[in-house]
Amino acid sequence: MVQAPQKLTMYTPAIFRVRVQGVLDKDWGNYFDTQAVSIEKDTAGFLTTVLTSKPVDQSALVGLVNYLNSLGLPLISIECLNQ
């Protein structure tokens, strides 16, 4: 699904990897389109959830971040996987 490198705009769909501290236990699958979810231990031994999105635009990405925030999961990082 990875696309050729291109300039990111507000509307370009892109794949993002979002990492939050803690474990998602809600039925988030209905709320956000992901292609992969994994739970990993970070170096300090804390559990983190890593979500890999399908290609989404900025509104959807920010919506996801807001959603995770409302669930009380601290955001660690967001990476764009297109570049």
Partner 1 sequence: MDTSFQAKPGISAMTLSGEETFPFLLIQTKLHRPRLNRDQVTRQHILDRINANLCLNDGFSRALTLISAPAGYGKTTLLCQWLEDCPHPNAWLSLDEDDDDPVVFLRYLIEAIRKILPGVCPETLRLLAAPTEPPLDYLSATLINELAGLHETPAKTSTPVTGIILVLDDYHKISNSKAHSFVDGLIQRLPGTVHLAIATRTDPPLPLVSLRAGQQMAEVRAENLRFTLKEAQLYLEQAIGAGLNQEMVKTLEARTEGWAVGLRLAALSLHGAKDQARFIRSFRRGGHRYVMGYLMDEVLTHQSPATQEFLLKTSILNRFCAPLCHTVLNGNQPSTSDFQAENSSQVIIEALDRANLFMVPLDYEGVWYRYHHLFRELLNQRLLATYDRKNITVLHHRAGDWLGQAGLVDEALHHFITAGDVPAAIRLIETHRVEAMNRKQWQQVERWLQRLPAEITEQHPTLLLLRVWLLHIQFRMRDIPPLLDQAQTLLDKNDAKMTDQTQKQLQGEIDMLRSQISYWRGEGQRCLALARRSLAVTPAEHTRTRGLALVYAAGGLQQTGNIAAALDLLRDGLQDTNLLSSTTTLQLLFGQLTIEFLAGDLKSVTRTATHLLDMPQEQAGPTSGAWKHYYLGRTELEQNNPVKAQTQFTAVLEQRYVTHARIVQDSFYGMAVAHQMLGQSAEAGEFADAASAYAVEVRNTRSMLEARSFQARLALLQGRPELAGQWAQEIPREIALFPALFIEIPQATQVKAMLSQKTPDHLHQAEMVLNRLQHFVTNTNTPWAMIEIMALQALLNNAQGNREQALTALEQAVSLARPGGFIRVFVELGPQIASMLQQLTNRGKASDFTEQILAAFPGSLWKDKITADHEAPIQNLAEPLTQREMEILRLLSERLTHKEIARKLVISPLTVRKHTSNIYQKLGVQKRAAAVATAEHLGILRPR
Q: What is the CA radius of gyration of the chain?
A: 13
CB of 41 to partner 1, least distance (A): 27
Which pair of tokens denotes residue 27? 């039925």
CB of 1 to partner 1, least distance (A): 17
For position 52 contacting partner 1 by CB under 8 A, the verdict is no
Q: How many residues bind partner 1 (CB under 8 A)?
A: 20
Q: Can you tell me which of 67, 76, 78, 81 binds partner 1, judged by CB under 8 A?
A: 67
